[in-house]
Amino acid sequence: MKRSLSAVKPTGKLTLGNYIGALKNFPSFQNEYDNFIFVADLHALTLPIDPEYLRNNTRDLVALYLACGLDPNKTTIFLQSDVSEHSELNSILQNYLYMGELSRMTQFKDKSQKMNQNAIGLGLFAYPVLMCADILLYDADVVPIGEDQKQHVELCRDLVHRFNTRYQKDVFVMPEPTIPHVGARIMSLSDPTKKMSKSDEKGDIFLLEDLKSIEKKIMRATTDLGSDIYFDKENKPGISNLLTVYASLKDITIDEATEHFKDCHRYGDFKKEVAAVVCEEIKKIQDRYNEIIASNLVDEVLKEGAEKAKKVAKETLKRVQQTVGIYGK
Ligand code: ATP
Ligand code: MG
């Protein structure tokens, strides 16, 4: 059985973008693949974060994984920091990626631009190295991601090629990124030219947000002049974004969604219908989340997940250590 691996950083409250681009799709992989999903808590440290906030987000994220349909009997769910092999492989792999290629990563450029240039952490710069370790430790064949992570998986593919060529054997498995056809990049509701991100809270919809507030945000979402509903990312980014949200939650294509709204000539009516679909989906998730967070399930799942993940990670690390000339235990 091929293996699939994905993760989310517990940097903030999960957004509708995270759900549509990632969490919503995770359960479909657990029937076809040996599915590994983790919480990337080490990655969350790449920008300053309050310890208590990080701990709470981590717990919420696991509960949300379960609430969105991940089944711990089919999916190995664990914390990145519970498997020390991630850090050990990271320290080997950092010698096989180049500073030039890391400095070309869009995410690094975007995030570091907003910071004091004298205080950009090395971890933020080296983030894709750890991400390569995350993927390669589990011999992942497919990596489900949103569009923003594509460049990092491409870098990982370059690394696999470089490493396997250098040692003349297939030490690492070549991972394939899988990106959803609809909803790979949900934009902010207040500025539809910017990606919806959990670390940048303006205009975002959160999975654990009050439903009334979600409805208000959708009704107030930035739109453009006009009254017709059709997909045009350039000229109608706000409407196109809401159409994308609608289509992905309804599991239909953008064309089908446009057809559905062809007789609707009032943005208000359109937004109301989008809001209803979003609230219905989020309510289901919140109901399940509330049950899960009140139980011991999160701790149980993480304990078992860490044991299963460690078993696989240990074997891969040993293989790599032996390849490069370190005595693998
Ligand atoms: P951060 O601002 O901390 O980077 P984020 O919201 O970008 O947070 P990540 O933890 O970086 O979230 O990514 C988790 C998953 O969600 C990844 O698979 C990513 O591709 C996907 N994702 C993130 N934002 C969006 C979005 N706006 N639309 C669709 N998918 C997204
Ligand atoms: Mg991100």
pLDDT at residue 169, rounded to an integer: 96
pLDDT tens sequence across 56-76: 999 999 999 999 999 999 999
Q: Is residue 186 in contact with ligand 1, taking CB distance under 6 Å?
A: yes
Structure tokens at 113: 């631009």
Among 327, 316, 6, 310, smallest CA distance to 170 is for 316
Integer Cα distance of 259 and 273 in angstroms: 14
Q: Which residues are catalytic?
A: 111, 195, 198
Give the distance (Å) from ligand 1 centre to CA of residue 150.
Answer: 11
Sheet holding 34-39, edge to edge: 75-79, 34-39, 3-8, 142-144, 176-178
Nearest Cα residue to atom 22 of ligand 1:
18
Where in the chain does DSSP place strands (E)? 3-8, 34-39, 75-79, 142-144, 176-178
pLDDT at residue 327, rounded to an integer: 87
Q: Is residue 146 in contact with ligand 1, taking CB distance under 6 Å?
A: yes
**DSSP letter (8 states) at residue 295:** S
Of all ligands present, the nearest one to the C-alpha of 151 is 1
What are the beta bridge partners of residue 75? 35
Of all ligands present, the nearest one to the C-alpha of 205 is 1
Is residue 199 pLDDT above 90, yes or no?
no
**Contact at 8 Å (CB) between 46 and 127?**
yes
pLDDT at residue 322, rounded to an integer: 96
Lowest mean pLDDT among 157-166, 198-207, 273-282: 198-207
pLDDT at residue 311, rounded to an integer: 98
**Contact at 8 Å (CB) between 102 and 128?**
yes
Nearest Cα residue to atom 16 of ligand 1:
18
Of all ligands present, the nearest one to the C-alpha of 37 is 1
Among 201, 140, 216, smallest CA distance to 173 is for 140
**Contact at 8 Å (CB) between 71 and 31?**
no
Integer Cα distance of 327 and 329 in angstroms: 6
Nearest Cα residue to atom 25 of ligand 1:
17
pLDDT at residue 198, rounded to an integer: 84
Q: Is residue 43 in contact with ligand 1, taking CB distance under 6 Å?
A: no
Cβ-based neighbours of 103, under 8 Å, separated by 6 or more: 109, 125
Give the distance (Å) from ligand 2 centre to CA of residue 227.
Answer: 33
**Contact at 8 Å (CB) between 254 and 231?**
yes
pLDDT tens sequence across 216-226: 999 999 998 88
Closest ligand 1 atom to 199 CA = 2
Ligand 1: residue of 5, 8, 199 to mutate (most ligand atoms within 8 A of CB) is: 8
Section 288-313 average pLDDT: 98
Ligand 1: residue of 148, 152, 187, 190 to mutate (most ligand atoms within 8 A of CB) is: 148
Closest ligand 1 atom to 148 CA = 20
- Of the chain, the percentage scoring pLDDT greater than 90 comes to 93
**Contact at 8 Å (CB) between 298 and 82?**
no
Q: Is residue 195 in contact with ligand 1, taking CB distance under 6 Å?
A: yes
Section 183-200 average pLDDT: 89
User: Residue 221 carries which side chain, given as an amino acid letter?
Assistant: A
pLDDT tens sequence across 124-162: 999 999 999 999 999 999 999 989 999 999 999 999 999
What are the beta bridge partners of residue 79? 39
Under the banding of pLDDT at 50, 70 and 90, the label for residue 251 is: very high
Under the banding of pLDDT at 50, 70 and 90, the label for residue 201 is: low
Give the distance (Å) from ligand 1 centre to CA of residue 327.
Answer: 38
Section 292-313 average pLDDT: 98
Section 207-232 average pLDDT: 94
pLDDT tens sequence across 78-121: 999 999 999 999 999 999 999 999 999 999 999 999 899 999 99
Integer Cα distance of 264 and 299 in angstroms: 48
Mean pLDDT of the chain: 95
pLDDT at residue 329, rounded to an integer: 65
Closest ligand 1 atom to 183 CA = 29
Ligand 1: residue of 197, 204, 248 to mutate (most ligand atoms within 8 A of CB) is: 197
pTM above 0.95, yes or no: no
Integer Cα distance of 162 and 174 in angstroms: 11
Other beta carbons within 10 Å of 244: 21
